[in-house]
Amino acid sequence: LSAEYLARQDRWESNARTYPRHLPIALAEGYGSFVRDVDGNVFIDFLTGAGVLSLGHNHPALVRAVTEQLGHLTHGLDFPTPAKEAFLQAQLSMLPPGMRDRTKVHFCGPTGANAVEAAIKLCKVATGRGDVVSFQGGFHGSTHAAMALSGLLGPKQAVRNIMPGVHFFPFCSEGCDSDCASYLERSLRDSNGGVPLPAAVLLELVQGEGGVVPATVDFARRVREVTRSLGIPLVVDEVQTGCGRTGTWFAFEQYGIEPDVVVASKALSGIGTPVAVILYDAALDVWDPGTHIGTFRGNQLAFAAGVEAVRIVREEDILGNVRRRGEQIGERLAELAGEPRVREVRGRGLMWGVELADPATGRPDSALAAAVQTEALRHGLILELGGRDDCVVRLLPPLNVTAEVVDTACTILVAALAAATA
Ligand code: PMP
């Protein structure tokens, strides 16, 4: 049946499909860390709707919250509502205490990319400047400006006259032997550096689509220092890292920095009902709110689920589970480190990647990554790819995943790699 669904979808949707291209299944239903396809096959889902289903598929408490809200109000534009207020309070309560009082919230069209657009416009209006600094390997979405701001070239190359004034700088990760922060600082301070003082610096602290690449703590702190000293708002894109994915509510907490603007979306509701916000320093709040409006900013179902998701994360020590299960994945996948075609295994919290490279040339081995993904699917595990030429096999489990499921998934992944390299 999956094949028939895929064939029909192909006919109607042309080449718009991305995920099923590599994961040729049609989904019927999901529960917790598992998903069932239309043929009755059950898979462990370590893609979780691209990091959206933070509490797994159809978490009963979230389903209850959404169902109850359905009976009251579904769509509220930007009118105040009890659900919206509760959501707002829940989000603010998760911020470090020092940030809470000076933070404002702007509800965006319900995607990550839309919130990135809002963040950049906010900073452009507040600073009166037009350029933006972004980093190589970062991903910020597929709308026009968000794509222009993404470091991954990919389909961007075919889009002419994409937003100008974006300056890309190297992103410093573990093992990088260049002083990327000094280079950035010199370029920003030097009036001959060719980079006009930007409206914002946009940073993804753990690059997700870029292949699970965490920034070093030193790099992140120095980017914070230089942006602060030059009066450049620092925008941190937490669309993928946010809502507990890396073991703290936001990744920036682990880096010991406080951004001026935080972009959040994906897992805000925990169950896939779309919602996106920017949380920003009130000092930047000089824009006319009409600068970023949109019809779908009042999804009451997302608000109701999001309040419940925050409650569960708090009461069920989900962040503790993220750290423990993350360590477990690290320990289990350490056995891959000796494999000649595994360049690196890395992760933060429940965001992990296995980078594959040809040992002879050092080139990204995307064919092997695709083969591992296919092999894992055959044995009941859905994995994601990312990074340069899709050479990184990625794991994005639900944040409440159990030790048993992690163990089974790691066994499948290790066996899939062995089978694909045999
Ligand atoms: N920023 C980051 C870090 C992301 O990972 C993504 C989505 N993968 C986006 C922005 C864009 O989000 P959306 O697809 O909801 O527009």
Question: Which of 108, 207, 265 for mutating ligand 1's site (highest number of atoms within 8 Å of CB)?
Answer: 265
Q: Are 277 and 264 in contact (CB under 8 A)?
A: yes
**Cα gap 306→93, rounded to integer Å:** 13
375 Cβ neighbours under 8 A, 6+ residues apart = 415, 416, 417, 419, 420
What percentage of the chain carries pLDDT values higher than 90? 89
H-run or E-run covering 138: none
pLDDT at 22: 84
- Which residue's alpha carbon is at the smallest distance from atom 10 of ligand 1? 140
Q: Which residues on adjacent β-strands are paired with residue 215? A: 173
Sign, CA dihedral 255-261-267-270, equals positive
pLDDT at 32: 98
Locate 363 and state its tokens.
């080139």
pLDDT at 17: 62
**Any idea what DSSP says for residue 130?**
-
Question: What residues does CATH 3.40.640.10 cover in the chain?
Answer: 63-315
Q: Which two tokens stand for residue 10?
A: 């192909």
Please tell me the distance from the alpha carbon of residue 198 to that of residue 188, in angstroms, as a whole number: 8
Mean pLDDT score, 328-337:
94
Count Cβ atoms below 10 Å from residue 202 Cβ, excluding itself. 28
User: What residues have CB less than 8 Å from 74, skipping those under 6 apart?
Assistant: 299, 300, 301
Q: Could you give the CA distance from residue 170 to residue 101 in angstroms, rounded to a whole number?
A: 33
Which atom of ligand 1 is closest in space to residue 207's alpha carbon? Answer: 3
The arithmetic mean of pLDDT across residues 400-417, rounded, is 98
Q: Is beta strand 234-237 parallel, antiparallel or unpaired with respect to 200-203?
A: parallel
- As a whole number of angstroms, the distance between CA 95 and CA 416 comes to 40
DSSP 292: S
Looking up tokens 């919602």, which residue turns up?
Answer: 275
Q: What is the CATH number of domain 318-356+370-422?
A: 3.90.1150.10
Q: 48 to each of 158, 245, 405, how far by Cα in Å?
A: 29, 12, 14
Cα(first)–Cα(last) distance of the chain, in Å? 30
Read off the pLDDT of each residue in 196-213 and give the average, rounded to a whole number.
97
Predicted confidence at residue 347, as pLDDT, reads 96
Choice from 47, 54, 116, 240 to test ligand 1 binding pocket (greatest atom count within 8 A of CB): 240
Measured between alpha carbons, how far is 198 from 147 in angstroms, rounded to an integer? Answer: 18
Which residue's CA is the nearest one to ligand 1's atom 13? 112
Residue pair 145/116 in contact by the 8 Å Cβ criterion? yes
pLDDT tens digit sequence for 255-267: 999 999 999 999 9
Cβ atoms of 68 and 304 within 8 Å: the answer is yes
Tell me how far apart the alpha carbons of residues 193 and 41 are, in angstroms, rounded to a whole number: 57
Note the pLDDT of residue 16: 60
Mean pLDDT of 326-334: 97
CA 422/CA 416 separation, integer angstroms: 10
Residue 266 tokens read as 């994906």
Judge whether residue 194 has pLDDT over 80.
Answer: no
Q: What is the pLDDT of residues 32-88, one digit of tens each?
A: 999 999 999 999 999 999 999 999 999 999 999 999 999 999 999 999 999 999 999
Residue 397 region by backbone torsions, left for phi larger than 0, else alpha for psi between -120 and 50, else beta: beta
Share of the chain above pLDDT 70, in %: 99
Report the alpha-carbon distance of residue 319 to residue 370 in Å, rounded. 31
**Ligand 1 pocket mutation, candidates 47, 52, 120, 239, criterion most atoms within 8 A of CB:** 239
Numbered ranges of CATH 3.90.1150.10 in the chain: 318-356+370-422
Query: How confident is the model over 4-31, as pLDDT tens digits?
Result: 888 888 777 766 667 777 899 999 999 9
Please report which confidence band the pLDDT of residue 177 belongs to, taking 50, 70 and 90 as the band edges.
confident
Give me the pLDDT at residue 15, please: 60
Q: Alpha helix locations (H) across 334-402?
A: 366-378
Asked whether 258 and 283 are in contact (CB, 8 A), the reply is: no
Nearest-CA residue for atom 1 of ligand 1? 140
Q: Which fold has domain 63-315?
A: Aspartate Aminotransferase; domain 2 (3.40.640)
Of 104, 34, 409, 53, the C-alpha closest to 278 is: 104
CA distance 131 to 128: 10
Q: Which pLDDT does position 19 carry in this prediction? A: 74
The residue type found at 293 is I
Confidence of residue 207 (pLDDT cuts 50, 70, 90): very high
Q: What does the pLDDT read at residue 8?
A: 81
Radius of gyration of the chain (CA): 21
Residue nearest to atom 11 of ligand 1 (CA): 141
Q: Which conformational region is residue 287 in: left (phi greater than 0), alpha (psi within -120 to 50 degrees), or beta?
A: beta
Q: Which residues line ligand 1 (CB under 6 A)?
A: 50, 111-113, 116, 139-141, 204, 208-209, 237, 239-240, 265
- Residues with Cβ within 8 Å of 49's Cβ and at least 6 positions away in sequence, in order, are 272
